[in-house]
Chains A and B, each alone.
Chain A
Amino acid sequence: MSMFNKKAAPAASAPSVPTAPSNASSGPESLANSESIAEGVSVASPRPYETSSADASHADDASRNAGLGLKPTSKPSILSNGFEFEGVIKSDGVLNISSSLKGKVFAKSIFLDVDGIVEGEIQAEVLTIKGKIYGEIHCQDLTIGSRAVIDGTCFYKTINIQRGGRVSGKLTRVD
């Protein structure tokens, strides 16, 4: 039982897509994370039943996830600044991107932070963009922040652009 918890805890605390140099210090953590990278190109957030749900601090996550229709224990996958990825990323949860990505990203909810740059295709239900996107966007709710730069094709259901956002390209509303 204790061994099970030990293995689950690092996976819960560490982001699902770690940057290789920063994880070199902690032994068991880097082992678990390098396993997940070796599995294949697509990286997914940790499956909810694998993580320990005994944490009271995740009550906020639970209510937010419930509002989005996600499993209460699913945590956001975080791609931090400095991380570079080329390929396909799939998640059935929340994706928090501050990194540079080339390729395709599919998730339920994506938050592209100010440092985030995505080249390629993004598909999500809820998309909040504060960084840069070059390519194709498919989403239901699109929110564009004041420092966002979007160049490409957007398909959305509802849109919200804050003053300062720079959008160029083709916008189409799909029901």
Chain B
Amino acid sequence: MAEVNQQGSIFIGEGVSISGSIEVPDIISISGKVEGSITARQVIVEATGHVQGKVQAEMVDVKGSISEYLAVSKSLIIRSTGDVKGTVYYSEIEIEKGGQLQGDLYINA
């Protein structure tokens, strides 16, 4: 966990609830609840993390849940406990068995 607490990164612990607009130059690791919009280079949603709103990132790794809108310019990985709902834009996608994905999918041109 200490390795994500670097310059440009933010770590949201379990039980922490934050709402608003977050702009992260590097990595955002979410184990709590985020409501609003996130723009980051890399978004990691841990098993206890929930994101509701708009997420824009280069790489997204989901073990928890993301709802509403997700735009990934590079790769999206949904782990076996991951759950993504809503409108999803991606370039590359991987879903482990057990992962859930619902909604409208679009491949970036």
The residues of A with any CB-CB pair to B shorter than 8 Å are: 143-144, 158-173
Chain B interface bracket (under 10, 10 to 19, 20 to 34, 35 or more) = 10 to 19
Inter-chain contact A168/B92, CB cutoff 8 Å: no
The A/B interface has a contact count, at CB < 8 Å, of 48
Residues of B within 8 A of A171 (CB): 101-105
Inter-chain contact B106/A173, CB cutoff 8 Å: no
Inter-chain contact A166/B107, CB cutoff 8 Å: yes
Residues of A within 8 A of B99 (CB): 159-160
Contact residue among A158, A166, A167, A170 (Cβ-Cβ distance under 8 Å from B97) = A158
Inter-chain contact B104/A170, CB cutoff 8 Å: yes
Residue of A nearest to B78 (CB): A161
Residues of A within 8 A of B104 (CB): 169-171
Residue of A nearest to B101 (CB): A171
Contact residue among A161, A169, A170, A172 (Cβ-Cβ distance under 8 Å from B95) = A161
Contact residue among B93, B96, B100, B103 (Cβ-Cβ distance under 8 Å from A170) = B103
Measured between alpha carbons, how far is A174 from B5 in the docked complex, in Å? 39
Tell me, yes or no, whether B68 is within 8 Å of chain A by CB. no
A42 CB to nearest chain B CB (Å) = 32
A128 CB to nearest chain B CB (Å) = 12
Tell me, yes or no, whether B25 is within 8 Å of chain A by CB. no
Inter-chain contact B95/A173, CB cutoff 8 Å: no
Measured between alpha carbons, how far is A143 from B97 in the docked complex, in Å? 8
Residues of A within 8 A of B13 (CB): none
Residues of B within 8 A of A165 (CB): 93-94
Tell me, yes or no, whether B8 is within 8 Å of chain A by CB. no
Given contacts A160-B95, A170-B105, 8 further A-B pairs with CB under 8 A are A159-B101, A161-B93, A167-B105, A170-B103, A170-B104, A171-B101, A171-B102, A173-B100
Inter-chain contact A159/B100, CB cutoff 8 Å: yes
Residues of B within 8 A of A158 (CB): 97-98
Inter-chain contact A162/B100, CB cutoff 8 Å: no
Residues of B within 8 A of A163 (CB): 75, 92-94
Inter-chain contact A162/B94, CB cutoff 8 Å: yes
